[in-house]
Amino acid sequence: MKTAVIGCRPLMTLAGAPGARRGADLGRVESIQDGGLLIEGQVLAAVGARAEIEALIDPGTEVVDLGGRLVLPGLVDAHAHPVFGGERVAEFVQRCQGCSYSEIAAAGGGILSTVQRTREATEEELVEGAHRRLSWFISHGTTTVEAKSGYGLDHETELKMLRVIRRLASEGRIDLVPTYLALHAVPAGQTQSSYAEEVVRETLPVVVREGLAQYADAFLEPGYFDADTVEFVLDAAKAAGLGLRLHADQLTCSGAAQIAARLGATTADHLEQTGAAGIAALADADVQPVLLPGSVLGLGLSHYPDARAMIDAGLAVVLATDFNPGSSPTVSLPMVMALACRYMAMTPEEAIVACTINAAHSLGRSHDRGSLEPGKRADFVVFDANDPREVPYWFGTNLVRETWIGGVRY
């Protein structure tokens, strides 16, 4: 089955050299003013000017005319927590009344409240809740999502979450990249070290044996996990063949960026408090920064990561939602782009690259998505717009008309 998609004005292909974009290249977005796509099965067979695509149309080809709308590669969310039980609306109200993240957690809220609801939920209930949320991602133009565990904090529930993620990915609706968030918070009744020992001895071997995760992750932050504990667990995960990601320097500048560099992590995420030394360490080790301005907004804070310094240092910056029920309950990468442009000195073009090819590269997926080129998956988004800068400009407005994932139109 062939499908020709025409009337892409403009068609932002982001075509270019393989891999992530950095420096001046981060702001370059290749485009075709009046373009088209030819899809065969799940793959792009041809990408070019409208006339070139029309010349390839045969009697068996379905033709879809977008009527002159902006087309971007499918958006890639490289840091998200889409599987969990319950919600935390009450904590949102508490923050509106002036309570801090730490105060809410100390009173029994925060991550541990979601842990309780996730442990109580059946696998079917977790699947049902995630289906609803993943439909939100699709409606905002996201075609690939990194999906973390981390709301189980025990052997059984962490495996339950990862099996739910695998089940959702097998459905083929939206691609999920699984991450075992081994250290998210210390479970009630345990210490950092006892829980880390349990992770390495019991859960990690099953995760690896069953192929339940591509990456391992940890939250390095005072009050959660310290550097020694994080390095113990992530060293074991790396030795077992998993890639590494790290929640780093979100609330304090604890040297987590340097630890991510030393461990050879693929990404260091958050980095709100990271300074020049941490940025230099990330650049030396070629660790991709995954920046999450939605969590800054969601927590009512004002200190955003220094994206401009990271770009100037040659880092291949990524933007992601950090979608979760507590600090960042948003699925909208266009809204994240808007925050990055307004508060992190990024240009619209840089923000688009950070949510497409750079995000795909951080997940090991840039070979088949993140840009619109022959041979890549037919993942793209149609916006009711004619200028890519409109995507972050109209913040809070969903301009997505339709999302295509693997050649299927949503």
Task: Indicate the angle between helix axes 155-170 and 111-120, nearest 10 degrees.
Answer: 70
* Domain co-membership, 65 together with 80: no
Give the pLDDT of residue 104. Answer: 74
* Domain co-membership, 401 together with 280: no
The answer to whether 339 touches 16, Cβ cutoff 8 Å, is no
User: At residue 182, does pLDDT exceed 80?
Assistant: yes
The answer to whether 273 touches 220, Cβ cutoff 8 Å, is no
**Tokens at 42, concatenated:** 């799940």
Q: What share of the chain in percent tops pLDDT 70? A: 99
Give the pLDDT of residue 307. Answer: 98
- Per residue in 194-218, pLDDT tens? 999 999 999 999 999 999 999 999 9
Neighbours of 379 (CB within 10 A): 31
Give the pLDDT of residue 94. Answer: 77
User: At residue 396, does pLDDT exceed 90?
Assistant: yes
* Domain co-membership, 20 together with 133: no
User: At residue 193, does pLDDT exceed 90?
Assistant: yes
Residue count of the chain:
410
Q: Phi, psi (5° rounding) for residue 336?
A: -60, -40
* Domain co-membership, 56 together with 196: no
Mean pLDDT computed over 142-152: 98
- C-alpha–C-alpha distance, residues 69 and 65, integer Å: 9
Domain that holds residue 9: 2-73+371-409
**Tokens at 111, concatenated:** 């991550």
- C-alpha–C-alpha distance, residues 134 and 144, integer Å: 10
* Domain co-membership, 285 together with 199: yes
Mean pLDDT computed over 402-406: 98
Mean pLDDT computed over 148-175: 97
* Domain co-membership, 179 together with 95: yes
User: At residue 100, does pLDDT exceed 90?
Assistant: no
Which domain CATH number covers 24?
Answer: 2.30.40.10
Give the pLDDT of residue 99. Answer: 79
* Domain co-membership, 343 together with 376: no
> Taking the chain, what is the end-to-end CA distance rounded to the nearest angstrom?
17
- Per residue in 317-347, pLDDT tens? 999 999 999 999 999 999 999 999 999 999 9
Q: What share of the chain in percent tops pLDDT 90? A: 90
Which domain CATH number covers 100?
Answer: 3.20.20.140
* Domain co-membership, 293 together with 235: yes
**What is the reported pTM?**
0.96
Give the pLDDT of residue 205. Answer: 98
Give the pLDDT of residue 98. Answer: 81
* Domain co-membership, 192 together with 341: yes
User: At residue 399, does pLDDT exceed 80?
Assistant: yes
* Domain co-membership, 17 together with 41: yes
Give the pLDDT of residue 56. Answer: 97
- Per residue in 34-52, pLDDT tens? 999 999 999 999 999 999 9
Mean confidence (pLDDT) of the chain: 96
* Domain co-membership, 283 together with 167: yes
Residue that is last in its domain, among 324, 339, 362: 362
* Domain co-membership, 51 together with 90: no
Mean pLDDT computed over 7-22: 95
Q: Which residues pair with 248 in a beta bridge?
A: 220, 270
Give the pLDDT of residue 174. Answer: 95
Q: Which pLDDT band holds residue 112 (cuts at 50, 70, 90)?
A: confident
Q: Which pLDDT band holds residue 93 (cuts at 50, 70, 90)?
A: confident
Give the pLDDT of residue 110. Answer: 75
Give the pLDDT of residue 147. Answer: 98
